[in-house]
Amino acid sequence: MQQTNFNQYADDWWNKEGDMRMLHTMHETRMLFIKERILKRFTKLNSLKSIIKKKKILDLGCGGGLLAESLANYGENIVAIDSSEDLIRMATKRALEKNMKINYKTSTIERLAKNKNKFDIIISLEVIEHVNDYKLFLNNIFKCLNKNGIVIISTINRNIFSYIATILFAEKILKIVPDSVHNWNLYLKPSEILNYGENFGLKLDKIVGLFPLPNLAGVQWIRTKNTSSNYILSMTN
């Protein structure tokens, strides 16, 4: 199902000046959203540490472990999967070196759904725009979600602005992301995700746009009401 092969980026994943640098620059802004929505969803548990201790969490398409490591700072109940054996091998080695307990697996959401694995929190960041069949991808996510759970997805909108911003400028002109890593035809409008989620009883919790602002340190991502390019959303059931 996954179109882009990320094995080639394994050795460079944690290089903040390398091919994955845009993921690093946007990570703090994404994490703030993730923490806020999880805390709101499970208000009775008071803290992120309590939530991660008691709830089962899936980092879907974890890559080299950027999100998984951030979550593991609050607890050990993290399952992180990716279809890339090289990325999982690298992430596992790094976690061992840092004495972090993260359950990394080379797997797919299809396999987890088939085996009836269930999670309270499913997070998939910059993944869905790399799969050929987003409905099948979402279908399996929703199958794996426990009742009263939350799904958080970040991706890129499909319109002329996102083509200019992420492919023409970011890939071809500025070369701040790897060339041809994106396929504009696989980008998704928020309504496509939300409308499909409604079929499974999920409703929108929150959506914000993510926009990069240049500064002296490089790039700082901010939240915005404008979701015409990058955006992150949460859905609950």
pLDDT tens, residue by residue, 221-237: 999 999 999 999 999 99
Domains of the chain from N-terminus onward: 7-236 (3.40.50.150)
Query: pLDDT digits over 64-96, tens only?
Result: 999 999 999 999 889 999 999 999 999 999 999
pTM across the whole model = 0.95
Interatomic CA distance for residues 86 and 224, integer angstroms: 35
The residue ranking higher by pLDDT, 181 or 196, is: 196
At residue 2, the pLDDT reads 52
Print burial letters for 24-36: b (CB count within 10 Å at least 16), e (below 16).
bbbbebbeebbee
Q: How far from each other are the two terminal CA atoms of the chain, in whole angstroms? A: 25
Mean pLDDT of 90-106: 96
At residue 3, the pLDDT reads 47
Q: Is the pLDDT of residue 5 over 70?
A: no
Q: Is the pLDDT of residue 143 over 70?
A: yes
Residue 153's φ and ψ, nearest 5 degrees, are -130, 135
